[in-house]
Amino acid sequence: MPPCSLFVGTVFVCTSTQVNSSQPFVDQVVAQVLWFKLVRGVMGIRQRLSLDDRANQRKKASGGGTVLKNFFKKGKVSAFDVQKAAKTILDGGDQSADIASFSKASVNGKDNKHMSRDVIRKMLKSNTAPPLYTTYVTMWDSDRACKVEEKMHFQIPYEIIDYKVGSGPVDDWTSLPPDSPFRPLRAAFVEEHGLGVDPESVGVAGIWGDAACYHTRDSLFMLLVNMLSGSFRERFWCGVWSKRMTCQCGCYGRCTFDSMWRFVSWVSVAWASGGYPAFRDDGIAFLASTFPGDKIRATWASAKRKMKFRACFLQKRGDWSWFKQALAFCD
């Protein structure tokens, strides 16, 4: 089973520079950063001769900043190491914005107590991915032995896929082979729901549910989404929650799963319509919502922003244990 993670990074491999494992970690990072810059041409001849304006150079992201971000996302370095390495690179002449920002984390490294918080905040400032979606889900409070309505974070599939598509060709996400079994199903969906568009412009998505152990006393439920049309098969996490938090009021988890399916149903309707919705899954207008991220969603709805393409869910995947609990199947 693939790992479910909020972050996807690129691992940088230094193939032509010998790095001594006995060196301090910062020296190793700096050596890899310099080699990365050399290969990518980040330190061009104009920068070396100081022909570029320093103010303009600071606005650009550097290869060194990318390496540090990826190491931190993968959990291979601490926030303290990120700040110290950035300070070393900055002293070496790199005036790029991300390096300068990391070097100033936690009062230039003087306050190590809040280093992780500052580094994460600086990374989030440069993050252009859509914000997470927050809604209330019926959960189980084991301390009070009762069900409660708790906040839960989701990643909205059409938002993250729109972000991934970017300015690329939409056909790479919606096309199907001539002999694909999803072709007649997609055409039937378009006709049944009266979308009034060419079926070739509608993407086909699948939803996958599973469980995974992460502790000796608990495990996770996961909802993942991927495109079945086009050429990209990357899975995007949609929702993750603990089994211990699944409702135990005698409903066999139905209260929690019904909340999940309410969200999935809302996503399905919005994705098929092709426009960013003005109302949340609970019926509250984004304009009136106080949840993080809903302000920008209200702006998108007011501007009548269109999605890159419409899509429909035509496949659900999971083992029998998942179907039995998530869809209330009988043994």
* Contact (Cβ atoms closer than 8 angstroms) between residue 264 and residue 224: no
CB contact set of 106 (below 8 Å; sequence gap of 6+): 79, 83, 112, 113, 114, 115, 117, 118, 119
What angle in degrees, to the nearest 10, is found between the helix axes of 79-91 and 115-125? 70
Using N-to-C axis directions, what is the helix angle for 63-73 and 79-91, rounded to 10°?
170
Residue spans of the domains in the chain: they are 25-125, 133-326
- pLDDT tens, position by position, 124-178: 777 788 999 999 999 999 888 899 999 999 999 999 999 999 888 999 999 999 9
What is the chain's pLDDT, residue by residue, as a tens digit (331 residues)? 443 333 333 333 333 334 444 455 556 666 565 555 544 444 444 444 444 444 444 445 556 777 887 888 778 888 888 888 888 888 777 777 778 888 888 776 666 677 888 888 877 777 788 999 999 999 999 888 899 999 999 999 999 999 999 888 999 999 999 999 999 999 999 999 999 999 999 999 999 998 888 777 788 888 999 999 999 888 898 999 888 889 988 888 889 999 999 999 999 999 999 999 999 999 999 999 999 899 999 999 999 999 999 999 999 998 888 888 888 776 6
Helix 25-40 / helix 63-73 crossing angle, nearest 10 deg: 130
* Closest to 238 (Cα-Cα) out of 256, 221, 254, 252: 221
231 to 171, 272, 277, 314: CA distances (angstroms): 9, 20, 27, 17
Looking at residue 175, what is its pLDDT?
93
86-105 pLDDT, tens digit per residue, is 888 887 777 777 788 888 88
What is the distance between the alpha carbons of residues 79 and 115, in angstroms, rounded to a whole number? Answer: 6
Q: Which pLDDT does position 224 carry in this prediction?
A: 92
Three-state SS string over 292-310 comes to CCHHHHHHHHHCCCECCCE
Cβ atoms of 9 and 70 within 8 Å: the answer is yes
E strands, 50-145, are 133-141
